Amino acid sequence: MRKTVWSMCSMCSVRCPIKVEVEDGKVKWIEGNPHILKGALCAKGSAGIALQRDHERPQQPLIRAGGRGAGKWEPVSWYTALDYVAEKMNKIKEKYGAKAVMLSCRGGPWQDLWKSFIHAFGSPNFTNHDSGCGRNVHHASKSVYGLGRKGFIYDIKNAKHLISFGRNLMASLRIAEVNQIMDMLDAGGSFTYVDVRQTLTGIKATRFFQVRPGTDYALALGMINEVIKQEAYDKEFIEKYTTGFDKMAEFVEQYTAEWAAKECGIKVKKLKDFVSEIGQQRPKVIFHPGWMLSRYRDSFYASRMLHILNVLMGSVEVEGGQQFPKTPADCGVKGLRTFSSMVPKPEDKRADGVGWKYKHFDKGPGLFHLFYDAMLTEEPYPIKGVICYRHDPFNCFPDVTAQKEAFDKCDLLVSIDTHYSEFGWYSDVILPESMYLERETPVCTQKGPKPRFAFRDRAVEPRFDTKPSWEIFKMLADRLGIGEYFPWTTAEEMWEFQLEPTGYKIDDLREKGFVALTDTPIMYDRDNLDGKFKTPSGKIEFVSQMLEENGLPSFKPYESPQKPPKGRFRLIFGRSPVHAHGHTINNPLLNELMPENTLWINSRVAARMGVKEGDWVDVIADSQKGTIRAHVTDFIHPEAVYTVHGFGRQVPLQSRAYHAGMSDQKLQEGLLEMMDPAGGGLCLCEKFVTVRRSPRNPRRRVEL
């Protein structure tokens, strides 16, 4: 029997809506939801079938039998595993208080559930991966608009010019976004790309600035200077909605286009031409403010300037520009009932210091890397239990050795994931989640010009003894005596609980995987945006009250990035379209496409070192070393070497990924503590590595 199930992909964090066809309990076909994506899907999306069939994933709960990381596991039943975790959590609670247990996830539309769980347990310490990802962009956006990084959506399709500073849109690959860019280009739009190397994204550009690594901030400053000089900005909009323009103009005066061109290593005419072009095209101009900008010491300020450039373009609530994401309320529909509405807020201060020591950071998920300090010093109080749901700190954060030192102070490490994460392999208990085709997830709200409610339905029964996370958390909550906060026992009841205020039923969503809350896109009146900006002044703030009140400058004087000493390089990392960080490397079909990463190195530099395409090279940090093959190319800046993130995995049960390629985060020694004090992001591109031709290269010993 063939049936169609509407679901959402989970091979990467984009969560594309999908249509799944199932025959006799087997997944036969997955395509992008035709109502939204017209069938389009990426390689990872199709390879979900291979993940479902793969047996190299945890098949039942496991409790550690040997030392941490030794790989000895005792397979146990769900009852034993959950009783074990609950007992340990209760012990920690008795001794140190509930706050000594933290929970981390990877963000996303369902985090309300995991957050409610740890709050109900009594701990304020909910966190996620974002200090190794988008925190700088998020906080930069808050400093300018009072709104987070999801406070705007981009109408790229109708834009006249898209500018990306190193956001590798084609490799990060949000299918809907990529199609918008292609449509914009087909309609004759311009696309300016800035990076230290050429990428899949850059080859689609109409203008390319190859800059010296770490000079994005300089280029953005030079652009603002020139925009002001050419009077290429939207005066009316600035007048009406912003504060602090004069202070900003005064600050950028020293950063001329000539200066920026020199600093970045680009042509000044090209920069000036660019500015006159956007001056003509505004307000339909979008500066992508970046996503994963935990990179340089000044990435936060660079992102602030990109947000400010959008403001100068007047690119707010216009067709072809930035737009406010509309909510169910904008459609006259009541929102979903949240899980957190049931749960009292814990009163303790957060152990990462966010909210009291660091008042300018968003309290929601805080900053994971600051918990390591609490584990090591027991200040402000001890952290003794860590639950990571879908989050692999060893893959996400730098300097794995330093992380392990801190985790060793903990009494309980739990990993809840569909695959063996590196953290999971080091943890005490693995609670295997059913992969996405085998589980349901709560209903979520997708804001946008046409907001919708969407959900993931179960396509097939779990192949192994795994469970969906909603059930894992519910069962754990029951054992901890907080089950009453999660008043449902089945997915149907959970959906009903969420949907009750909205008037919709789950069967409405089952028709095509979502319900649209309006037929026509909603736009606010651009002449009347008062109240929409959530800064202290209610205006768009060039001079940020939030920053200044916390002793941080709104504008940071530019400091030129250090040049790597001879023989050393700045280690840059990025994405490939066929992998999503570390968790797809072992997928049979994706591994086939890209089984290992390479080290991009500039051809002139390589020639001097005697390194040829395909040679093995050693990449050496302080105590760590990786060995991979070189990719010799003209299209990377000589100061940088580049690799794809996620490789060099060390879980023996993942036979395809095991020790294949090199892990960049293991080489990032010492970077766990290098936080941008204003943005909260880590500075992951601030590591210099030595590269040499590896002795591992085969030599011919016999000539004749």
**Which residues contact ligand SF4 (rule: CB under 6 A)?**
9, 11-12, 14-16, 41-42, 44-45, 173, 175
d(CA 239, CA 245): 9
Question: Using CB under 8 A, which residues numbered 268 to 297 contact other proteins?
Answer: 270
Exposure of 55 by Cβ count < 10 A (0-12 exposed, 13-18 middle, 19+ buried)?
Answer: exposed
Choose between 10 and 535: whose C-beta lies nearer to ligand SF4.
Answer: 10
Does 435 contact other proteins by CB under 8 A? no
Choose between 53 and 235: whose C-beta lies nearer to other proteins.
Answer: 53
- Find the shortest distance in angstroms from Cβ 166 to ligand SF4: 19
User: Is the Cβ–Cβ distance between 394 and 422 less than 8 Å?
Assistant: yes
Of 50, 153, 376, 529, the one binding other proteins by CB under 8 A: 50
Binding mask 452-491 for other proteins (x = CB under 8 A): ----------------------------------------
Of 13, 158, 198, 550, the one binding other proteins by CB under 8 A: 198
Of ligand SF4, other proteins, none, which one does residue 12 interact with (CB within 5 to 8 Å by kind)? ligand SF4
- Find the shortest distance in angstroms from Cβ 327 to other proteins: 29
CB proximity list for 18: less than 8 A, separation 6 or greater: 6, 7, 8, 9, 30, 31, 32, 33, 41, 45, 513
If DSSP states are collapsed to H, E and C, what string results for 610-667? CCCCCCEEEEECCCCEEEEEEEEECCECCCEEEEECCCCECCCCCCCCECCCCCHHHH
Whether a cis peptide bond, with omega within 30° of 0, leads into 595 is no
- Find the shortest distance in angstroms from Cβ 42 to ligand SF4: 4
User: Which span sits near other proteins by CB under 8 A: 178-186, 390-398, 494-502, 517-525?
Assistant: 178-186
Handedness of CA 602, 608, 614, 620 (dihedral sign): negative
Of other proteins, ligand SF4, none, which one does residue 206 interact with (CB within 5 to 8 Å by kind)? other proteins
Choose between 200 and 653: whose C-beta lies nearer to other proteins.
Answer: 200
Given the structure tokens 């999971």, which residue do they identify?
424
Of ligand SF4, other proteins, none, which one does residue 635 interact with (CB within 5 to 8 Å by kind)? other proteins
Token couple for 407: 């985790």
- Find the shortest distance in angstroms from Cβ 49 to ligand SF4: 12
Of ligand SF4, other proteins, none, which one does residue 208 interact with (CB within 5 to 8 Å by kind)? other proteins
Rg (CA), the chain: 25
- Find the shortest distance in angstroms from Cβ 675 to ligand SF4: 29
Please report which residue ranges of 388-488 form alpha helices under DSSP H. 393-396, 400-407, 422-426, 469-479
d(CA 161, CA 506): 40
d(CA 398, CA 573): 12
- Find the shortest distance in angstroms from Cβ 241 to ligand SF4: 35
User: Is the Cβ–Cβ distance between 152 and 556 less than 8 Å?
Assistant: no
Token couple for 692: 């040499």
First to last CA, the chain: 65
Nearest CA-CA partner of 469 in 513, 393, 427, 418: 418
Of 63, 76, 86, 200, the one binding other proteins by CB under 8 A: 200
Does 49 contact other proteins by CB under 8 A? yes
Does 603 contact other proteins by CB under 8 A? no
- Find the shortest distance in angstroms from Cβ 182 to other proteins: 5
Of other proteins, ligand SF4, none, which one does residue 333 interact with (CB within 5 to 8 Å by kind)? none
Does 9 contact other proteins by CB under 8 A? no
Choose between 15 and 99: whose C-beta lies nearer to ligand SF4.
Answer: 15
CB proximity list for 186: less than 8 A, separation 6 or greater: none
Closest CB to ligand SF4 belongs to which residue?
45
Of other proteins, ligand SF4, none, which one does residue 382 interact with (CB within 5 to 8 Å by kind)? none
- Find the shortest distance in angstroms from Cβ 115 to ligand SF4: 23
Choose between 39 and 670: whose C-beta lies nearer to other proteins.
Answer: 39
Of 39, 487, 501, 652, the one binding other proteins by CB under 8 A: 39
Choose between 12 and 308: whose C-beta lies nearer to ligand SF4.
Answer: 12
Residue 2 bridge partners (DSSP)? 23
- Find the shortest distance in angstroms from Cβ 32 to other proteins: 7
d(CA 216, CA 632): 24
Of other proteins, ligand SF4, none, which one does residue 205 interact with (CB within 5 to 8 Å by kind)? other proteins
User: Is the Cβ–Cβ distance between 240 and 319 less than 8 Å?
Assistant: no
d(CA 458, CA 439): 5
User: Which span sits near other proteins by CB under 8 A: 221-229, 233-241, 505-513, 582-590?
Assistant: 582-590
d(CA 96, CA 593): 48
- Find the shortest distance in angstroms from Cβ 11 to ligand SF4: 3
How many CB atoms neighbour CB 143 within 10 A? 28
Of other proteins, ligand SF4, none, which one does residue 16 interact with (CB within 5 to 8 Å by kind)? ligand SF4
Nearest CA-CA partner of 436 in 452, 424, 419, 423: 419
Choose between 29 and 464: whose C-beta lies nearer to ligand SF4.
Answer: 29
* Residue type at 498 in one-letter notation: Q
Does 206 contact other proteins by CB under 8 A? yes
Does 568 contact other proteins by CB under 8 A? no
Nearest CA-CA partner of 37 in 179, 168, 152, 156: 179
Of 101, 102, 147, 170, the one binding other proteins by CB under 8 A: 170
Helix (H) or strand (E) holding 559: none
Site residues, other proteins (CB under 8 A): 29-32, 38-43, 45-47, 49-50, 170, 173, 175, 178-179, 182, 185-186, 198, 200, 202-208, 270, 577-578, 588-593, 633-635
